[in-house]
Amino acid sequence: MRNLCKSILIVVVAVFSLESVATAQILKNLLKQTTTAATASTPTAYSQGQTAGVALKSLYAQYKTDGKKLDMGNLSNILNVASLAGSVGELKTADASYKKEYAKGLVLGSLNLVTEPQSTSVISGLTSLANIDLTSLTKNEALQNAASEVIKEKASETISSLLSSNKVSETTEKANSIASQAAGTIENASQIASKVTDILSLFK
């Protein structure tokens, strides 16, 4: 019976750790889509809106957790902002038809965090974001590498957490260090954070 309980505990801990790995992998995939957009087929307004909506949903959740502040030292935030940056470029010259489809994608991707009445204000904020230099986000190999490193660190926690709490602390510290280094590669982080914060403040 004791061995059975121990086995169940190991499985539970592993599952929770793997959720962190999965989250990091999703973020990495989003960033990869952003950094390879130039060689891919042109995305539709609807799909770009969905991408932006997904990023905003994640950013807003962390924004609330952090006391309504956008922490650009948090790798998850950095990667979500990078994903957002990769989905707003066409808004600079978009017509009403494009924005209408983009808005539909926003609502769906954000799981209704962005409501239809709000979408005009959100798109206005995203257009403002699109009009600043975002190349340090959308063409940043260092961010892709950072995402890969965090995935490795989180995966190692799956095993190490079963053995030593000190080891978990070490891997978490290393992941935080990687995030800090990635943040340092964004040339105009304050300006970008200000624009994104303006958008997040639209939500209640």
Cα-based angle 65, 71, 115 (whole degrees, multiple of 5): 60
Q: Which pLDDT tens digit goes with each residue over 75-128?
A: 888 889 999 999 999 999 999 999 999 999 999 999 999 999 999 999 999 999
> What single-letter DSSP state applies at residue 95?
-
Q: Which amino acid does the sequence have at 93?
A: T
Is the CB of residue 124 less than 8 Å from the CB of residue 146?
no
Q: Which pLDDT tens digit goes with each residue over 28-71?
A: 555 554 444 433 445 799 999 999 999 999 999 999 999 999 99
> What single-letter DSSP state applies at residue 114?
S
Q: H/E element holding 38?
A: none
Residue with structure tokens 């964004």? 186
Closest by Cα among 107, 55, 46 to 85: 55
Residue with structure tokens 């929770």? 16
